[in-house]
Amino acid sequence: MTALLDRPVLVKPARPVVSRRRWLRAVTPLVLLAAWEGGVRGGLLDPDKLPAPSTVIATGWRLALEGTLGEYLLDSVQRAVLGLLIGGLLGLALGTLAGLVRLGDDLVDPTVQMARMLPHLGLVPLLIIWVGIGESLKVTLVALGAFFPIYLNTFSGIRNIDERLVEAARTCGLTALERVRHVVVPGALPSLFLGVRLAFAAGWLSLVVGEQVNGQGGLGFMMMEAREFSQTDVVVLGLVAYALLGLLSDLLLRLGERRLLAWRHGLRAR
Amino acid sequence: MAARTASQVSVARGVRRSFGDTVVLDGVDLTIGAGEVVALLGGSGSGKSTLLRILAGLDGEATGSVTTTGSTAVVFQEHRLLPWKRVAANVALGVRGGSLRERVDAALTEVGLADRRDAWPAELSGGQAQRVAFARALVREPDLLLLDEPFGALDALTRLRMQVLFGRLRATHGFAALFVTHDVDEALLLADRVLVLDGGRIAEDRPVTLPQPRAVDAPGFGAERRVLLGLLNVPASPS
Ligand SMILES: Nc1ncnc2c1ncn2[C@@H]1O[C@H](COP(=O)(O)OP(=O)(O)O)[C@@H](O)[C@H]1O
Ligand SMILES: [Mg+2]
């Protein structure tokens, strides 16, 4: 102990550790990208099987200028938004009903829990018979994918609210409706956000599957058509576009979360 | 005694409550006068919280009669602030009427937290959060304050400060209070009267006649303390 005290204590100046770490995160993807590019140029990879990133970017630029990329992108986004809205709102409504009202719980929850066991992507053949291969198929698939996570997380979000807070709100003179507004909704919001995140993921996946089924427009159609003409660069471009859309939706969600759930990271937000 | 007069803020008669086969309250009678602070003592699980919830109108399954005159506010052992509302919004919760901001700020000033009005509950210490819970009760200007071990979760020093704060608030506002505690000293320091809940009934109703200002080392305090501990079946400390 005394030996330690003999030495002067070195106090390191504070350094922005976090921002340095951020940069480190980008290293691995960049190295992989460079290796991919180098692999194609060096002849290690067959450009017909996997075109170089630069080729994919060039193709993307060309299709964007032609306007086709934007058109297909818009098709896909429209289907996703419509499906998420329909499935999400339905999940929200039924989840709220089952979470708040005992009768709703009895009537809705067991059925939904059973239906959840059905892999909804396996419904494609049946859905084709029911609604055909057009827009309704894609939108229905996305809606189905989005419904379950939103329903489940709305339900559990409401159920897991601290009963003591509801009781305290009652002693403050809040009516039932006011308690829903001031306690139940904000209390269930974190869980709902989780549901939306899962719904986005399930929705994208459903869209990808739905767009592989014959039809017109959308990124999936673009990819399937490109495959027939062996335009591997367009196929990869489609994948990249899907990934970027997923990334963008996640970003938007995070933004919303930061605003609406500020109280959770209160210490940092102020 | 049975007749209710204007000077009584809460009267309970023959209150019974059971959970399944377990009878927790078996005919509780109590009266709280206007401006009177009544401490409710009792062993753990004796039904103190159950009784308080009934008086607060939070228990729909109790039988017997409870009459409360005027407004009531509750402070629980945990602060029970809504984590998604800032301090001021928590205090203002459910308060109606004009000049809300001024009233909220006045209540926060009284508990010494005017500068934390825009903080989130998560940013407060345990003692601060409980003071906000007091401000939330005060802003309603209650005739009766129901307190369920309000300092039970606080450390010893904070608890002493809160007891002083409670005495000051009571002097300013003149509210009546039912103060549930398991701390005999706290009951003797703050209350005008002590009730002991035992076997589902009020087993003892004892006025505290110690002179103000009270202190644990004032003459007579120790003797009174021993009496109450005896009523709570706590053996006298070895000496
Ligand atoms: N909601 C409940 N369901 C079942 N038993 C309960 C419930 N609330 C309280 N009790 C029982 O009632 C008794 C009294 O509880 P409580 O009023 O919390 O005691 P105290 O506050 O005096 O410690 C305990 O035995 C407890 O187990
Ligand atoms: Mg209790």
For residues A45-62, average pLDDT: 93
> A48: Cβ–Cβ under 8 A, 6 or more apart, which residues?
A230, A232
- Do the Cβ atoms of B84 and A263 come within 8 Å? yes
Nearest CA to ligand 1 atom 5: B19
Q: What are phi and psi of B15, to 5 degrees?
A: -75, 125
Q: Spell B194-205 as b/e; 16+ CB within 10 A means b.
A: bbbbbebebebe
Using a CB–CB cutoff of 8 Å, tell me whether B84 touches chain A: yes
Q: pLDDT of B144-184, one tens digit each?
A: 999 999 999 999 999 999 999 999 999 999 999 999 998 99
Nearest CA to ligand 1 atom 20: B45
Neighbours of B60 (CB within 10 A): 6
More reliable by pLDDT, A270 or B45: B45
pLDDT at A268 over 70: no
Amino acid identity for residue B39 in this structure: A
Pairing, β B63-68 against β B176-180 = unpaired
Q: What is the pLDDT of residue B235?
A: 76
Using a CB–CB cutoff of 8 Å, tell me whether B60 touches chain A: no
Residue B157 tokens, joined: 């020093």
> What does pLDDT average to over chain A?
90
Q: pLDDT of A16-34, one tens digit each?
A: 566 667 888 889 999 999 9
Q: Which domain holds residue A204?
A: 65-161+194-260
For the CA of B43, the closest atom of ligand 1 is 22
Q: Is A221 a member of any domain?
A: yes
Q: Using DSSP, state whether B13 is helix, strand or coil.
A: strand
Q: How much of chain A, in percent, has pLDDT values that exceed 70?
A: 90
pLDDT at A1 over 80: no
Using a CB–CB cutoff of 8 Å, tell me whether A4 touches chain B: no
Indicate the range of A7-11, A24-28, A34-38, A234-238 predicted with least confidence: A7-11
User: Ligand 1: distance of its center to the CA of B199 in Å?
Assistant: 13
Q: Is A136 a member of any domain?
A: yes
Q: What is the pLDDT of residue A216?
A: 85
Residue B115 tokens, joined: 């500068």
pLDDT at B35 over 70: yes
| CB within 8 Å of chain B, chain A residues 179-208 | 182-183, 186-187, 189
**Which band of pLDDT confidence, cut at 50, 70 and 90, is reported for residue A212?**
confident
- Do the Cβ atoms of A167 and B58 come within 8 Å? yes
Considering only CA atoms, which of B124, B122, B86 is closest in space to residue B104? B86
C-alpha B229, offset from chain centre: 20
Residue in A with minimal Cα distance to B87: A263
DSSP output for B110-179: HTT-GGGTTS-GGGS-HHHHHHHHHHHHHTT--SEEEEESTTTTS-HHHHHHHHHHHHHHHHHH--EEEE
> Angle at which helices A68-100 and A232-260 pack, to 10 degrees?
40
- Do the Cβ atoms of B123 and A187 come within 8 Å? no
Q: Is A21 a member of any domain?
A: no
pLDDT at A4 over 80: no
Q: Is A169 a member of any domain?
A: no
Residue with tokens 């109590």: B30
User: Ligand 2: distance of its center to the CA of B130 in Å?
Assistant: 17
Domains held by chain A: number:
1
Nearest CA to ligand 1 atom 1: B19
For the CA of B51, the closest atom of ligand 1 is 17
Using a CB–CB cutoff of 8 Å, tell me whether B227 touches chain A: no
Q: Is A74 a member of any domain?
A: yes
Q: Is A38 a member of any domain?
A: no
Beta bridge partners of B206: B194
User: Ligand 2: distance of its center to the CA of B179 in Å?
Assistant: 11
Q: What is the pLDDT of residue A17?
A: 60
Considering only CA atoms, which of A211, A215, A268 is closest in space to residue A76? A211
Q: pLDDT of B94-150, one tens digit each?
A: 999 889 999 999 999 999 999 999 999 999 999 999 999 999 999 999 999 999 999
For the CA of B149, the closest atom of ligand 1 is 21
Tell me what ipTM this predicted complex has.
0.91
Q: Is A35 a member of any domain?
A: no
Alpha-carbon distance of A255 to A248, in angstroms, equals: 11
Task: Please choose from B16, B28, B50, B58 the residue to mutate so as to test ligand 1's pocket, defined by most ligand atoms within 8 A of CB.
Answer: B50
C-alpha B59, offset from chain centre: 17
Q: How much of chain B, in percent, has pLDDT values that exceed 70?
A: 96
Query: Which of B56, B80, B94 faces A165 most closely, judged by CB atoms?
Result: B80
Q: What is the pLDDT of residue A270?
A: 43
Q: Is A247 a member of any domain?
A: yes
User: Ligand 1: distance of its center to the CA of A228 in Å?
Assistant: 72
Give yes or no for a contact between B62 and B25, defined as CB atoms under 8 angstroms apart.
yes
